[in-house]
Amino acid sequence: MGTIVITGSAGGIGKATRERLSRDGHEVIGVDVRDAEVIADLSTPDGRTEMVGAVAAVSGGRIDGLVAGAGITGPDPAQVVSINYFGAVATVEGLRPLLAQGTDSSAVAISSNSSTTVVALPDELLAACLDDDEPRARELAGADPTTAYATSKLALARWVRRTAIGSDWIGSGIRLNAVAPGLIDTPLVADNLEMILNLGDVYPIPQNRPGRPAEVANLMAFLLSPDASFFCGSVVFMDGGSDAALNADAWPTSNTTAERWPARD
């Protein structure tokens, strides 16, 4: 059993994951704005730095797993981007040295299937996130929290894929992956649950129900475990079929096929 840090541990998927990992016998260090071992505000650089220091002190400088799960939606798009992308990346990067001291260490970031099911995400905002330009990203976040949320989650998924294969991560024996949940019955969507379930072809859910936090927690427990030892840079969709219904033919694209797997003579 190991020591696992969960940001966003006080509610929703984070809380369910905490409960699952605790039942499995792990020591869990929760990080949240309330009801956690480490109280932290991940919307600011100072808050993120303080969080890293506090986790290091509580854990004794060594952890075996990490869930970067803190996230929000609306009403402030700039805040959405700061927490969902910059807060998550700072968490994963800041706690990497502690993971390096752990055993069979693994980190999982929570992205979202909105990264592929919301159309026409702004390229400039995506680029500002991936360029680590938080002031510019906040400026570009606009007035629509849904777009800011989806773009921040897409940026996070891309960052995980780019980062996981590097020498600091899998090259040092630390696995980094992401999950992309769909509609999950949590307080984050409680006010809009019925509306989302009735969006039809705009946002189909073939299973005709929201997911349960405990279902995502089961996946998180697997990805953090040695059973997931060959996962590296994966983004695992868990959305009742929404992404498949909307994007069944989106991968691989014809260009990708031609460039990466050219026809043989």
Query: pLDDT per residue over 74-96, tens digit each?
Result: 899 999 999 999 999 999 999 99
**Rounded average pLDDT over 7-35:** 98
CA distances from 37 to 56, 64, 65, 104, 158 (A): 12, 17, 16, 24, 30
Report the pLDDT value the prediction gives residue 190, as an integer from 0 to 100: 83
Structure confidence at residue 189 as a pLDDT band (50, 70, 90)? confident
Backbone angles phi, psi at 259, to 5 degrees: -80, -40
d(CA 106, CA 92): 11
Q: pLDDT at residue 163 above 90?
A: yes
CATH code (residue 121): 3.40.50.720
Residue 14 in contact with residue 73, Cβ under 8 Å?
no
Cα-trace Rg, the chain: 18
CA distances from 256 to 127, 216, 262 (A): 21, 31, 9
Report the pLDDT value the prediction gives residue 252, as an integer from 0 to 100: 63
How many structural domains is the chain composed of? 1
**Rounded average pLDDT over 125-146:** 97
Residue count of the chain: 265
Q: pLDDT at residue 250 above 90?
A: no
Whether 199 is in a domain gets the answer yes
Would you call 203 a catalytic residue per the annotation?
no
**Rounded average pLDDT over 1-6:** 96
Whether 125 is in a domain gets the answer yes
Residue 68 in contact with residue 110, Cβ under 8 Å?
yes
Hey, CA dihedral for 94, 98, 101, 106, is it positive or negative? negative
What is the model's pTM? Answer: 0.94
**Rounded average pLDDT over 182-203:** 90
Helix (H) or strand (E) holding 196: helix 193-197
Q: pLDDT at residue 51 above 50?
A: yes
**Rounded average pLDDT over 137-147:** 96
Structure confidence at residue 187 as a pLDDT band (50, 70, 90)? confident
Q: Is the peptide bond before 213 cis (omega within 30 degrees of 0)?
A: no
Whether 109 is in a domain gets the answer yes
Catalytic residue (choose from 149, 159, 169, 203): 149
CA distances from 28 to 7, 46, 104, 125, 223 (A): 10, 24, 16, 34, 16
Whether 8 is in a domain gets the answer yes
**Rounded average pLDDT over 64-69:** 98
Q: pLDDT at residue 191 above 90?
A: no
Percentage of residues in the chain having pLDDT higher than 70: 95
Residue 234 in contact with residue 177, Cβ under 8 Å?
yes
Whether 112 is in a domain gets the answer yes
Q: pLDDT at residue 233 above 50?
A: yes
Percentage of residues in the chain having pLDDT higher than 90: 88
Whether 67 is in a domain gets the answer yes
Whether 265 is in a domain gets the answer no
Q: pLDDT at residue 260 above 80?
A: no
Query: If we measure between CA atoms, which residue out of 73, 55, 9, 69 comes closest to residue 36?
Result: 9
**Rounded average pLDDT over 135-160:** 97
Give the structural domain span for 154. 3-260
**Rounded average pLDDT over 20-44:** 98
